[in-house]
């Protein structure tokens, strides 16, 4: 090993040691309660990746499943429109590029109708397509979004291609469902499921990561958003692991009780 490469490894080690690591499973720490969900669906970060998509595992890993969208004008919406987003199955990777305009049709399988669509053709000339124009302030930049124009079959006449569904998101969705299965419907109904956050920082005091923790509420305890609780940490909710979820050991107080922690982000320890 050269002196240069040895120095780089030393510097890398110092950089890593300067950051707090995610708490180990089984260790104790504290979190700020952000939510006490009453429904399982409220937890899903990868809600679009429903279980039926697992049958398309090979297509996802081959880059053949992409997101598509168009917008529906709506004066009540903040941006002036609502997004229509679905998934499109391509015949091969690279058939379309991100931002391409595409014609689609319903999937041949009736069970997937309205969920997954099939590729028909790429539109090379977009001059005749309808676009919704909007700006966030008078005289500001004007943005254009492809407007949905639905045919008699309920399918937009054109959509804009987005990113391909990444294989890791399918893996994360599977892990997420496995973690959530550690709770029963009765747990949700009784308020025995909590979601908390805490922040990790480096030796310079800078915050660099805020993991999310899903946890069992302690027997006989009632918690609400803004409470601070002690956890025996399990698997984070923002990763692909399928370990045990965290368990609350006791309630520590309210956010305002921790006056020394003045940063909006609440530290894990």
User: Is the domain of 55 the same as that of 154?
Assistant: yes
The predicted pLDDT at position 173 comes to 82
**Residue 110 domain-assigned (yes or no):** yes
pLDDT exceeds cutoff 60 at 48: no
User: Is the domain of 130 the same as that of 143?
Assistant: yes
**Residue 79 domain-assigned (yes or no):** yes
Tell me the CATH number at 217.
2.40.50
Kindly give, in sequence order, each residue whose CB lies less than 8 Å from that of residue 223, ignoring residues fewer than 6 positions away. 33, 36, 191, 194, 217, 229, 248, 251
- For residue 135, give its domain range: 51-164
The predicted pLDDT at position 135 comes to 82
- 78 pLDDT band (50/70/90 cuts)? confident
User: Is the domain of 75 the same as that of 141?
Assistant: yes
The predicted pLDDT at position 128 comes to 94
The predicted pLDDT at position 265 comes to 66
Torsion of CA 189, 252, 209, 38, to 10 degrees: 10
**Residue 3 domain-assigned (yes or no):** no
User: Is the domain of 155 the same as that of 64?
Assistant: yes
**Residue 269 domain-assigned (yes or no):** no
pLDDT exceeds cutoff 50 at 177: yes
Which of these, 263, 247, 262, 245, lies nearest to 28 by C-alpha position? 247
pLDDT exceeds cutoff 50 at 13: no
Helix (H, G, I), strand (E, B) or coil at 193: strand
Boundary (domain end) residue, out of 128, 145, 164 = 164
Q: What is the mean pLDDT of residues 24-34?
A: 91
pTM (2 decimals)? 0.61
User: Is the domain of 64 the same as that of 141?
Assistant: yes
pLDDT digits (tens, 9 = 90+) for 183-227: 999 999 999 999 999 888 777 777 778 889 999 999 899 999 999
Boundary (domain end) residue, out of 164, 196, 224 = 164
Which of these, 35, 48, 51, 23, lies nearest to 236 by C-alpha position? 23
135 or 69, higher pLDDT = 69
50 or 168, higher pLDDT = 168
The predicted pLDDT at position 267 comes to 83
Number of domains in the chain: 2
User: Is the domain of 35 the same as that of 72?
Assistant: no
């Amino acid at each position: 090993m050269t002196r240069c490469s040895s120095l780089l490894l030393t510097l890398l080690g110092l950089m890593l040691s300067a950051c707090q690591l995610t708490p180990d499973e089984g260790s104790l720490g504290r979190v700020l309660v952000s939510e006490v969900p009453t429904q399982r669906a409220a937890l899903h970060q990868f809600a679009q990746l429903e279980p039926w998509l697992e049958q398309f595992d090979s297509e996802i890993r081959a880059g053949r499943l992409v997101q598509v969208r168009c917008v529906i004008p709506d004066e009540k919406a903040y941006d002036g429109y609502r997004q229509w987003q679905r998934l499109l199955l391509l015949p091969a990777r690279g058939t379309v590029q991100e931002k391409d305009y595409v014609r689609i049709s319903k999937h041949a399988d009736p069970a997937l109708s309205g969920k997954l669509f099939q590729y028909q053709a790429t539109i090379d000339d977009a001059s005749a397509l309808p676009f919704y124009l909007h700006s966030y302030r008078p005289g500001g930049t004007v943005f254009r979004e492809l407007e949905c124009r639905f045919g008699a079959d309920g399918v937009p006449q054109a959509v804009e291609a987005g990113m391909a569904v990444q294989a890791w998101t399918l893996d994360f969705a599977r892990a997420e469902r496995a973690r959530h299965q550690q709770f029963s419907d009765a747990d949700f109904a009784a308020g025995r499921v909590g979601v908390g956050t805490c922040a990790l920082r480096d030796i310079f005091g800078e915050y660099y990561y805020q993991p999310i923790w899903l946890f069992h509420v302690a027997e006989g305890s009632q918690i609400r958003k803004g409470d601070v609780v002690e956890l025996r940490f399990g698997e984070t909710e923002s990763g692909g692991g399928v370990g045990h979820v965290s368990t609350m050991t006791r309630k520590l107080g309210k956010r305002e009780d921790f006056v020394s922690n003045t940063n909006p982000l609440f530290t894990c320890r």
